[in-house]
Amino acid sequence: MEQHARTDAYSDRYAARAAGMVPSEIRALFAMVARPEVVSLAGGAPYVSALPLDVVGGMIGDLVATRGAEALQYGSAQGDAGLRERICDVMALEGVQASADDVVVTVGAQQALDLVTKVFVDPGDVVLAEAPSYVGALGTFAAYQADVVHVPLDEGGLIPAALRETLDRLAREGRRVKFLYTVPTFQNPAGVTLTAARRAQILEICAAHDVLVIEDNPYGLLGFDGEPMRALRADDAERVIYLGTFSKTIASGLRVGWALAPHAVRAKLVLAAESAVLCHPALSQVAVREYLTTQPWREQIKDFRELYRARRDAMLDALDSLMPEGCTWTRPGGGFFVWVTLPEGLDAKAMAPRAIAERVAYVPGTGFYADGGGRRNMRLSYCFAEPDRIREGVRRLAGVIENEIRMRDTFGAARPDGVSGGVHTPGPGIV
Protein backbone atom coordinates (compact mmCIF):
# COMPACT_ATOMS: atom_id res chain seq x y z
CA MET A 1 0.00 0.00 0.00
CA GLU A 2 2.74 2.39 1.10
CA GLN A 3 4.67 1.64 -2.08
CA HIS A 4 1.57 2.22 -4.18
CA ALA A 5 0.85 5.57 -2.54
CA ARG A 6 4.31 6.83 -3.45
CA THR A 7 4.18 5.86 -7.11
CA ASP A 8 3.10 8.62 -9.45
CA ALA A 9 0.91 6.86 -12.02
CA TYR A 10 1.11 9.91 -14.27
CA SER A 11 4.89 10.17 -14.44
CA ASP A 12 5.22 9.02 -18.06
CA ARG A 13 2.69 11.63 -19.20
CA TYR A 14 4.22 14.77 -17.74
CA ALA A 15 5.95 17.34 -19.90
CA ALA A 16 9.74 17.31 -19.59
CA ARG A 17 9.60 20.61 -17.69
CA ALA A 18 7.70 18.93 -14.84
CA ALA A 19 10.88 16.99 -14.04
CA GLY A 20 12.39 20.25 -12.78
CA MET A 21 9.49 20.72 -10.35
CA VAL A 22 10.84 18.85 -7.38
CA PRO A 23 9.46 19.27 -3.90
CA SER A 24 11.87 19.96 -1.13
CA GLU A 25 12.43 17.08 1.24
CA ILE A 26 12.96 19.81 3.74
CA ARG A 27 9.26 20.56 3.41
CA ALA A 28 8.55 17.57 5.58
CA LEU A 29 10.71 19.08 8.30
CA PHE A 30 8.87 22.35 8.01
CA ALA A 31 5.61 20.67 8.87
CA MET A 32 7.11 20.51 12.37
CA VAL A 33 8.23 24.13 12.37
CA ALA A 34 4.66 25.24 12.92
CA ARG A 35 4.71 23.64 16.38
CA PRO A 36 4.66 26.44 18.98
CA GLU A 37 7.66 25.09 20.90
CA VAL A 38 9.89 25.43 17.81
CA VAL A 39 11.53 28.83 17.29
CA SER A 40 11.46 29.29 13.56
CA LEU A 41 14.28 31.33 12.09
CA ALA A 42 13.40 29.71 8.79
CA GLY A 43 10.45 31.51 7.21
CA GLY A 44 10.63 34.74 5.26
CA ALA A 45 7.12 35.89 6.10
CA PRO A 46 6.84 39.63 6.79
CA TYR A 47 5.33 40.76 10.07
CA VAL A 48 1.98 41.92 8.69
CA SER A 49 0.52 42.28 12.20
CA ALA A 50 2.46 45.56 12.37
CA LEU A 51 -0.03 47.07 9.90
CA PRO A 52 -3.02 48.98 11.29
CA LEU A 53 -5.28 46.08 10.33
CA ASP A 54 -8.49 47.79 11.45
CA VAL A 55 -7.76 50.77 9.21
CA VAL A 56 -6.85 48.56 6.25
CA GLY A 57 -9.95 46.42 6.87
CA GLY A 58 -12.19 49.52 6.96
CA MET A 59 -10.59 50.82 3.78
CA ILE A 60 -11.15 47.55 1.89
CA GLY A 61 -14.74 47.29 3.19
CA ASP A 62 -15.50 50.83 2.01
CA LEU A 63 -13.95 50.07 -1.38
CA VAL A 64 -16.29 47.16 -1.93
CA ALA A 65 -19.30 49.08 -0.62
CA THR A 66 -18.70 52.20 -2.65
CA ARG A 67 -16.76 50.99 -5.70
CA GLY A 68 -17.53 47.29 -5.80
CA ALA A 69 -18.44 47.35 -9.47
CA GLU A 70 -14.81 48.19 -10.22
CA ALA A 71 -13.14 46.33 -7.36
CA LEU A 72 -14.92 43.04 -8.10
CA GLN A 73 -14.75 43.16 -11.89
CA TYR A 74 -12.25 41.82 -14.44
CA GLY A 75 -9.54 44.29 -15.34
CA SER A 76 -6.76 44.61 -17.91
CA ALA A 77 -3.83 42.18 -17.98
CA GLN A 78 -1.41 45.07 -17.61
CA GLY A 79 -3.01 46.08 -14.35
CA ASP A 80 -4.89 49.05 -12.95
CA ALA A 81 -3.65 52.32 -14.47
CA GLY A 82 -3.92 54.31 -11.23
CA LEU A 83 -1.98 51.65 -9.35
CA ARG A 84 0.76 51.69 -12.00
CA GLU A 85 1.11 55.47 -11.46
CA ARG A 86 1.53 54.91 -7.72
CA ILE A 87 4.08 52.16 -8.41
CA CYS A 88 6.15 54.73 -10.30
CA ASP A 89 6.06 56.98 -7.18
CA VAL A 90 7.39 54.09 -5.09
CA MET A 91 10.23 53.33 -7.52
CA ALA A 92 11.16 57.02 -7.64
CA LEU A 93 12.39 56.58 -4.04
CA GLU A 94 15.21 54.49 -5.54
CA GLY A 95 16.00 56.91 -8.34
CA VAL A 96 13.93 55.12 -11.00
CA GLN A 97 12.22 57.36 -13.53
CA ALA A 98 9.53 55.29 -15.18
CA SER A 99 6.38 55.64 -17.21
CA ALA A 100 3.30 53.83 -15.88
CA ASP A 101 2.91 52.44 -19.38
CA ASP A 102 6.07 50.35 -18.95
CA VAL A 103 4.80 48.72 -15.76
CA VAL A 104 2.91 45.45 -15.67
CA VAL A 105 1.20 44.45 -12.42
CA THR A 106 1.76 40.83 -11.36
CA VAL A 107 0.71 38.40 -8.65
CA GLY A 108 3.68 39.21 -6.45
CA ALA A 109 7.25 39.52 -7.72
CA GLN A 110 7.14 35.75 -8.01
CA GLN A 111 4.78 35.90 -10.98
CA ALA A 112 6.91 38.64 -12.52
CA LEU A 113 9.85 36.23 -12.29
CA ASP A 114 7.78 33.50 -13.87
CA LEU A 115 6.62 35.71 -16.75
CA VAL A 116 10.09 37.07 -17.46
CA THR A 117 11.52 33.55 -17.51
CA LYS A 118 8.69 32.30 -19.70
CA VAL A 119 9.29 35.09 -22.20
CA PHE A 120 13.10 34.76 -22.37
CA VAL A 121 14.20 31.25 -21.51
CA ASP A 122 14.17 28.16 -23.72
CA PRO A 123 15.17 24.79 -22.23
CA GLY A 124 18.93 24.65 -21.79
CA ASP A 125 19.45 28.43 -21.91
CA VAL A 126 21.94 29.85 -19.46
CA VAL A 127 20.73 32.09 -16.65
CA LEU A 128 23.28 33.61 -14.29
CA ALA A 129 22.37 33.86 -10.63
CA GLU A 130 24.20 34.84 -7.48
CA ALA A 131 25.58 32.07 -5.31
CA PRO A 132 23.53 31.82 -3.16
CA SER A 133 20.29 32.89 -4.83
CA TYR A 134 16.60 33.28 -3.93
CA VAL A 135 15.09 29.78 -3.73
CA GLY A 136 11.85 30.80 -5.46
CA ALA A 137 13.77 32.09 -8.47
CA LEU A 138 15.72 28.83 -8.70
CA GLY A 139 12.38 27.00 -8.67
CA THR A 140 11.13 29.11 -11.57
CA PHE A 141 14.35 28.65 -13.54
CA ALA A 142 14.15 24.89 -12.98
CA ALA A 143 10.52 24.83 -14.13
CA TYR A 144 11.55 26.46 -17.43
CA GLN A 145 14.55 24.11 -17.72
CA ALA A 146 17.14 26.86 -17.57
CA ASP A 147 20.77 26.00 -16.95
CA VAL A 148 21.64 28.08 -13.89
CA VAL A 149 25.27 29.15 -13.64
CA HIS A 150 26.17 30.68 -10.29
CA VAL A 151 28.39 33.71 -9.76
CA PRO A 152 29.77 34.17 -6.24
CA LEU A 153 29.03 37.12 -3.98
CA ASP A 154 30.72 38.46 -0.85
CA GLU A 155 29.90 41.13 1.74
CA GLY A 156 29.78 43.73 -1.08
CA GLY A 157 27.36 41.71 -3.21
CA LEU A 158 27.96 40.05 -6.56
CA ILE A 159 31.70 40.03 -7.40
CA PRO A 160 32.32 41.89 -10.69
CA ALA A 161 35.54 40.04 -11.53
CA ALA A 162 33.77 36.70 -11.09
CA LEU A 163 30.92 37.87 -13.32
CA ARG A 164 33.38 38.92 -16.01
CA GLU A 165 35.25 35.61 -15.83
CA THR A 166 32.03 33.62 -16.02
CA LEU A 167 30.76 35.59 -19.00
CA ASP A 168 34.12 35.28 -20.78
CA ARG A 169 34.16 31.52 -20.19
CA LEU A 170 30.60 31.05 -21.42
CA ALA A 171 31.36 33.17 -24.50
CA ARG A 172 34.39 30.95 -25.25
CA GLU A 173 32.10 27.93 -24.94
CA GLY A 174 29.72 29.58 -27.40
CA ARG A 175 26.89 29.70 -24.86
CA ARG A 176 24.51 32.63 -24.90
CA VAL A 177 23.45 33.99 -21.53
CA LYS A 178 19.80 35.05 -21.46
CA PHE A 179 20.04 37.18 -18.34
CA LEU A 180 21.70 37.83 -15.02
CA TYR A 181 19.27 37.45 -12.13
CA THR A 182 20.27 39.49 -9.10
CA VAL A 183 18.83 40.69 -5.80
CA PRO A 184 21.26 43.57 -5.32
CA THR A 185 19.87 45.06 -2.12
CA PHE A 186 19.55 43.18 1.22
CA GLN A 187 19.80 39.95 -0.67
CA ASN A 188 17.72 36.87 0.01
CA PRO A 189 19.31 34.72 1.41
CA ALA A 190 22.71 36.32 2.08
CA GLY A 191 21.57 39.68 3.51
CA VAL A 192 24.34 41.51 1.60
CA THR A 193 24.04 44.60 -0.60
CA LEU A 194 25.80 45.40 -3.84
CA THR A 195 28.00 48.46 -3.29
CA ALA A 196 27.46 51.60 -5.41
CA ALA A 197 30.82 51.13 -7.14
CA ARG A 198 30.02 47.53 -8.03
CA ARG A 199 26.60 48.53 -9.38
CA ALA A 200 28.27 50.59 -12.07
CA GLN A 201 30.73 47.77 -12.83
CA ILE A 202 28.02 45.12 -13.08
CA LEU A 203 26.06 47.26 -15.54
CA GLU A 204 29.22 47.91 -17.55
CA ILE A 205 30.13 44.21 -17.73
CA CYS A 206 26.59 43.22 -18.72
CA ALA A 207 26.60 45.91 -21.41
CA ALA A 208 29.95 44.69 -22.76
CA HIS A 209 28.53 41.15 -23.02
CA ASP A 210 25.07 42.33 -24.10
CA VAL A 211 23.37 40.51 -21.23
CA LEU A 212 20.03 41.59 -19.73
CA VAL A 213 19.76 42.12 -15.99
CA ILE A 214 16.77 41.07 -13.91
CA GLU A 215 16.87 43.22 -10.78
CA ASP A 216 14.62 41.69 -8.13
CA ASN A 217 14.16 44.22 -5.36
CA PRO A 218 11.63 43.31 -2.65
CA TYR A 219 13.68 44.71 0.24
CA GLY A 220 15.14 47.95 -1.18
CA LEU A 221 13.00 50.24 0.99
CA LEU A 222 13.70 48.24 4.15
CA GLY A 223 17.17 49.59 4.87
CA PHE A 224 18.11 50.38 8.46
CA ASP A 225 20.47 53.28 7.77
CA GLY A 226 20.31 56.27 5.47
CA GLU A 227 18.56 56.67 2.16
CA PRO A 228 17.50 53.81 -0.14
CA MET A 229 20.17 52.55 -2.53
CA ARG A 230 19.89 53.66 -6.13
CA ALA A 231 18.37 50.82 -8.14
CA LEU A 232 20.32 49.34 -11.06
CA ARG A 233 17.33 50.21 -13.25
CA ALA A 234 17.84 53.90 -12.41
CA ASP A 235 21.02 53.85 -14.50
CA ASP A 236 20.01 51.62 -17.39
CA ALA A 237 16.44 51.59 -18.63
CA GLU A 238 17.11 49.42 -21.68
CA ARG A 239 19.10 46.58 -20.13
CA VAL A 240 17.49 46.19 -16.71
CA ILE A 241 14.10 44.65 -16.01
CA TYR A 242 13.07 45.65 -12.52
CA LEU A 243 10.83 43.47 -10.35
CA GLY A 244 9.06 44.95 -7.34
CA THR A 245 6.47 43.92 -4.79
CA PHE A 246 4.29 45.23 -2.00
CA SER A 247 4.71 41.97 -0.09
CA LYS A 248 7.25 43.42 2.34
CA THR A 249 6.18 47.07 2.43
CA ILE A 250 2.41 46.51 2.73
CA ALA A 251 1.24 42.89 2.94
CA SER A 252 2.31 39.66 1.25
CA GLY A 253 -1.24 38.27 1.21
CA LEU A 254 -2.40 40.96 -1.20
CA ARG A 255 -0.12 39.36 -3.81
CA VAL A 256 0.60 42.57 -5.68
CA GLY A 257 3.94 42.95 -7.42
CA TRP A 258 5.13 44.31 -10.73
CA ALA A 259 7.69 44.32 -13.51
CA LEU A 260 9.09 47.45 -15.13
CA ALA A 261 10.52 46.57 -18.52
CA PRO A 262 11.60 48.17 -21.79
CA HIS A 263 8.47 48.86 -23.79
CA ALA A 264 8.71 45.93 -26.21
CA VAL A 265 9.39 43.47 -23.39
CA ARG A 266 6.51 44.92 -21.39
CA ALA A 267 4.17 44.12 -24.30
CA LYS A 268 5.30 40.46 -24.23
CA LEU A 269 4.89 40.28 -20.46
CA VAL A 270 1.31 41.53 -20.73
CA LEU A 271 0.50 38.85 -23.29
CA ALA A 272 2.13 36.21 -21.10
CA ALA A 273 0.16 37.47 -18.09
CA GLU A 274 -3.06 37.36 -20.06
CA SER A 275 -2.56 33.75 -21.01
CA ALA A 276 -1.68 32.87 -17.40
CA VAL A 277 -4.40 34.67 -15.46
CA LEU A 278 -6.45 36.88 -17.84
CA CYS A 279 -6.00 39.72 -15.38
CA HIS A 280 -4.81 40.14 -11.82
CA PRO A 281 -7.16 40.32 -8.83
CA ALA A 282 -8.90 43.69 -9.10
CA LEU A 283 -9.71 43.87 -5.39
CA SER A 284 -6.05 43.60 -4.38
CA GLN A 285 -5.01 46.14 -6.96
CA VAL A 286 -7.56 48.78 -5.99
CA ALA A 287 -6.83 48.11 -2.31
CA VAL A 288 -3.13 48.85 -2.86
CA ARG A 289 -3.94 51.87 -5.03
CA GLU A 290 -6.25 53.22 -2.33
CA TYR A 291 -3.73 52.49 0.41
CA LEU A 292 -0.98 54.35 -1.47
CA THR A 293 -3.33 57.26 -2.17
CA THR A 294 -4.99 57.72 1.21
CA GLN A 295 -2.73 56.14 3.87
CA PRO A 296 0.63 57.32 5.31
CA TRP A 297 2.53 54.51 3.56
CA ARG A 298 5.95 56.12 3.86
CA GLU A 299 5.52 56.32 7.66
CA GLN A 300 4.32 52.72 7.71
CA ILE A 301 7.50 51.65 5.90
CA LYS A 302 9.50 53.55 8.53
CA ASP A 303 7.66 51.60 11.24
CA PHE A 304 8.47 48.32 9.47
CA ARG A 305 12.11 49.38 9.25
CA GLU A 306 12.29 50.11 12.99
CA LEU A 307 10.64 46.81 13.82
CA TYR A 308 13.01 44.80 11.62
CA ARG A 309 16.03 46.78 12.80
CA ALA A 310 15.29 45.82 16.42
CA ARG A 311 15.00 42.18 15.36
CA ARG A 312 18.18 42.33 13.29
CA ASP A 313 19.98 43.79 16.32
CA ALA A 314 18.62 41.04 18.55
CA MET A 315 19.86 38.41 16.13
CA LEU A 316 23.32 39.90 15.61
CA ASP A 317 23.82 40.48 19.36
CA ALA A 318 22.82 36.89 20.08
CA LEU A 319 25.07 35.53 17.33
CA ASP A 320 28.00 37.67 18.54
CA SER A 321 27.70 36.43 22.09
CA LEU A 322 26.58 32.82 21.62
CA MET A 323 27.87 31.27 18.41
CA PRO A 324 30.80 28.87 18.72
CA GLU A 325 34.18 29.79 17.31
CA GLY A 326 34.62 29.12 13.61
CA CYS A 327 31.13 30.26 12.62
CA THR A 328 30.82 33.43 10.56
CA TRP A 329 27.79 35.40 9.39
CA THR A 330 26.79 38.44 7.38
CA ARG A 331 25.66 41.73 8.95
CA PRO A 332 22.67 42.91 6.93
CA GLY A 333 21.94 46.62 6.68
CA GLY A 334 18.29 45.90 5.88
CA GLY A 335 15.89 43.21 4.73
CA PHE A 336 15.15 39.97 6.55
CA PHE A 337 18.11 37.58 6.50
CA VAL A 338 21.48 36.62 7.97
CA TRP A 339 23.65 34.06 6.16
CA VAL A 340 25.72 31.83 8.42
CA THR A 341 28.78 29.80 7.44
CA LEU A 342 29.56 26.85 9.70
CA PRO A 343 33.05 25.60 10.53
CA GLU A 344 34.78 23.16 8.18
CA GLY A 345 33.37 19.63 8.31
CA LEU A 346 29.86 20.62 9.43
CA ASP A 347 26.80 20.10 7.27
CA ALA A 348 23.81 22.41 7.79
CA LYS A 349 21.49 20.15 5.85
CA ALA A 350 22.36 17.05 7.85
CA MET A 351 22.04 19.08 11.02
CA ALA A 352 18.52 20.42 10.28
CA PRO A 353 16.52 17.55 11.83
CA ARG A 354 18.73 17.64 14.91
CA ALA A 355 18.11 21.38 15.24
CA ILE A 356 14.37 20.85 14.99
CA ALA A 357 14.64 18.20 17.69
CA GLU A 358 16.21 20.98 19.79
CA ARG A 359 13.26 23.24 18.84
CA VAL A 360 14.93 25.65 16.45
CA ALA A 361 14.57 25.82 12.66
CA TYR A 362 16.56 27.44 9.85
CA VAL A 363 16.80 26.92 6.11
CA PRO A 364 19.85 24.88 5.04
CA GLY A 365 22.03 26.66 2.50
CA THR A 366 21.72 23.98 -0.19
CA GLY A 367 18.25 25.27 -1.08
CA PHE A 368 19.81 28.44 -2.44
CA TYR A 369 22.13 26.75 -4.90
CA ALA A 370 21.27 25.00 -8.16
CA ASP A 371 24.55 23.06 -8.07
CA GLY A 372 24.64 21.39 -4.66
CA GLY A 373 26.65 24.16 -2.98
CA GLY A 374 25.86 25.67 0.40
CA ARG A 375 26.27 22.63 2.66
CA ARG A 376 28.09 24.63 5.31
CA ASN A 377 25.55 27.45 5.15
CA MET A 378 22.20 28.30 6.63
CA ARG A 379 19.78 31.18 6.30
CA LEU A 380 18.43 32.71 9.48
CA SER A 381 15.52 35.13 9.28
CA TYR A 382 14.71 37.77 11.86
CA CYS A 383 11.57 39.13 10.19
CA PHE A 384 8.90 37.19 12.01
CA ALA A 385 9.96 36.08 15.50
CA GLU A 386 9.94 38.60 18.37
CA PRO A 387 13.38 39.66 19.68
CA ASP A 388 13.21 37.40 22.76
CA ARG A 389 12.31 34.40 20.62
CA ILE A 390 15.16 35.25 18.26
CA ARG A 391 17.64 35.25 21.16
CA GLU A 392 16.24 31.95 22.43
CA GLY A 393 16.41 30.48 18.91
CA VAL A 394 20.04 31.48 18.49
CA ARG A 395 20.86 30.08 21.95
CA ARG A 396 19.38 26.70 20.96
CA LEU A 397 21.10 26.80 17.58
CA ALA A 398 24.48 27.57 19.15
CA GLY A 399 24.02 24.50 21.38
CA VAL A 400 23.25 22.31 18.37
CA ILE A 401 26.32 23.58 16.51
CA GLU A 402 28.56 23.05 19.54
CA ASN A 403 27.35 19.49 19.66
CA GLU A 404 28.08 19.01 15.95
CA ILE A 405 31.59 20.35 16.45
CA ARG A 406 32.13 17.84 19.27
CA MET A 407 30.84 15.03 17.04
CA ARG A 408 33.14 16.15 14.23
CA ASP A 409 36.10 16.23 16.57
CA THR A 410 35.23 12.76 17.84
CA PHE A 411 34.33 11.05 14.57
CA GLY A 412 36.25 13.21 12.11
CA ALA A 413 33.33 14.24 9.89
CA ALA A 414 29.75 15.40 9.91
CA ARG A 415 27.18 12.79 10.83
CA PRO A 416 25.10 11.24 8.08
CA ASP A 417 22.55 13.24 6.23
CA GLY A 418 19.09 13.47 7.71
CA VAL A 419 17.56 14.90 4.55
CA SER A 420 18.50 14.85 0.91
CA GLY A 421 17.19 15.86 -2.48
CA GLY A 422 16.31 19.10 -4.24
CA VAL A 423 15.07 22.18 -2.48
CA HIS A 424 13.66 23.89 -5.49
CA THR A 425 10.10 24.51 -4.47
CA PRO A 426 10.39 25.94 -1.02
CA GLY A 427 6.88 25.43 0.27
CA PRO A 428 4.64 27.94 1.96
CA GLY A 429 6.28 30.36 4.34
CA ILE A 430 9.88 29.56 3.43
CA VAL A 431 10.32 32.34 0.83
Q: Return residues touching ligand PLP (CB under 6 A).
A: 44, 108-110, 134, 136, 183, 188, 216, 218, 245, 247, 252, 257, 431
Give whichever of 96 and 137 is closer to ligand PLP, judged by the CB atom.
137
Give whichever of 56 and 112 is closer to ligand PLP, judged by the CB atom.
112
Is the CA virtual torsion 281, 283, 288, 290 positive or negative?
Answer: positive
The side-by-side arrangement of strands in the sheet containing 377-381 is 328-329, 337-341, 377-381, 363-364
Give whichever of 27 and 354 is closer to ligand PLP, judged by the CB atom.
27
Cβ 251 to ligand PLP shortest distance, Å: 10
Burial (CB count within 10 angstroms: exposed 0-12, middle 13-18, buried 19+), residue 129: buried
Give whichever of 132 and 160 is closer to ligand PLP, judged by the CB atom.
132
Cβ 258 to ligand PLP shortest distance, Å: 9
Give whichever of 109 and 361 is closer to ligand PLP, judged by the CB atom.
109
List Cβ neighbours of 166 (8 Å cut-off, separation of 6 or more). Answer: 128, 149, 151
Cβ 431 to ligand PLP shortest distance, Å: 4
The phi, psi pair for 242, rounded to 5°, reads: -100, 130
Give whichever of 186 and 350 is closer to ligand PLP, judged by the CB atom.
186
Give whichever of 134 and 382 is closer to ligand PLP, judged by the CB atom.
134
Cβ 46 to ligand PLP shortest distance, Å: 8
111 contacts 397 by C-beta, under 8 angstroms: no
Cβ 346 to ligand PLP shortest distance, Å: 26
Strands 257-260, 103-106: pairing is antiparallel
Cβ 311 to ligand PLP shortest distance, Å: 16
Is the CA virtual torsion 226, 227, 228, 234 positive or negative?
Answer: negative
Question: Which single residue brings its beta carbon nearest to ligand PLP?
Answer: 108
Cβ 250 to ligand PLP shortest distance, Å: 11
267 contacts 10 by C-beta, under 8 angstroms: no
In the chain the first and final C-alpha atoms are separated, in Å, by 34
Q: How far apart are CA 299 and CA 290, in angstroms?
A: 16
3-state helix, strand, coil in the chain (%, to 5): 50, 15, 35
Give whichever of 78 and 245 is closer to ligand PLP, judged by the CB atom.
245
DSSP string, 165-195: HHHHHHHHTTPPEEEEEE--SS-TTT-----
Cβ 307 to ligand PLP shortest distance, Å: 17
Q: How far apart are CA 160 and CA 138, in angstroms?
A: 21
Give whichever of 24 and 188 is closer to ligand PLP, judged by the CB atom.
188
Residue 417 DSSP one-character state? P
Cβ 110 to ligand PLP shortest distance, Å: 3
User: Of 414, 423, 244, whose CA–CA distance to 343 is shortest?
Assistant: 414
Q: How far apart are CA 429 and CA 253, in angstroms?
A: 11
Give whichever of 257 and 422 is closer to ligand PLP, judged by the CB atom.
257
Cβ 133 to ligand PLP shortest distance, Å: 9
Q: How far apart are CA 263 and CA 84, in angstroms?
A: 14
